[in-house]
């Protein structure tokens, strides 16, 4: 049964939006984990001081993948080469930039078995943290439904049905998280 109560429906829609945002955030977090081959998303979190304004690197440059394990960063403003190199070095991506005066190259080394296992543990923790957020969203939504029951806006039977709908939405989101984890693990462990 779908949620039909005019008061509960908007709250349920907000709940589903929050679940989707959490899954999307998790997806972007996993994309930024280095997996031994060049991936431009790894640079998404890097900001550079561009004339006093913190600016995302991907807005300052064209980032391409000329080879499987190389990123090529062509800046729109060549005078920022040193600043960008400093920002990449200061970031936690673990790759040293090679600056030839015109472009910056990031060469991804092959991951060791130990590093792969370390990264796998890291992404499992990230996914588990995402699941905790999802479960907290479910708890909040169930409290909202119970508040509607207390205010006599819904019946006891409706509360039970709505809680099942809330759980069903949570299960879908958790399933997506598990799929993201499985995909990223296979990408990390592939040699």
Note the pLDDT tens digit of each residue in 120-154: 898 999 999 999 999 999 999 999 999 988 988 88
Select from 1.10.10.10, 3.90.1520.10, 3.10.250.10, 1.10.132.20 the CATH code of 8-31+112-189.
1.10.132.20
pTM assigned to the model: 0.73
The answer to whether 134 touches 174, Cβ cutoff 8 Å, is yes
Q: What percent of the chain has pLDDT over 90?
A: 36
| pLDDT band at 173; cut points 50, 70, 90 | very high
Topology, domain 40-107:
Gyrase A; domain 2 (3.30.1360)
């Amino acid at each position: 049964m779908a949620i039909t109560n005019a008061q509960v429906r908007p709250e349920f829609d907000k709940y589903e939006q929050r679940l989707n945002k959490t899954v999307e955030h998790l997806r972007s977090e996993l994309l930024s984990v280095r997996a031994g081959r060049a991936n431009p998303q790894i640079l998404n979190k890097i900001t550079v001081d561009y004339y006093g304004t913190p600016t995302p690197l991907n807005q300052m440059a064209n980032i391409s993948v000329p080879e499987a394990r190389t990123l090529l960063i062509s800046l729109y403003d060549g005078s920022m080469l040193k600043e960008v190199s400093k920002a990449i070095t200061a970031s936690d991506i673990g790759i040293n930039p090679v600056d030839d005066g015109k472009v910056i190259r990031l060469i991804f080394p092959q991951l060791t078995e130990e590093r792969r296992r370390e990264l796998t543990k890291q992404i499992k923790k990230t996914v588990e943290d995402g699941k905790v957020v999802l479960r907290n969203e479910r708890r909040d939504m169930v409290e909202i439904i119970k508040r509607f029951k207390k205010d006599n806006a819904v019946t006891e039977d409706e509360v039970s049905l709505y809680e099942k709908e809330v759980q069903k939405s949570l299960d879908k989101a958790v399933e997506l998280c598990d799929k993201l984890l499985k995909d990223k693990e296979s990408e990390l462990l592939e040699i």
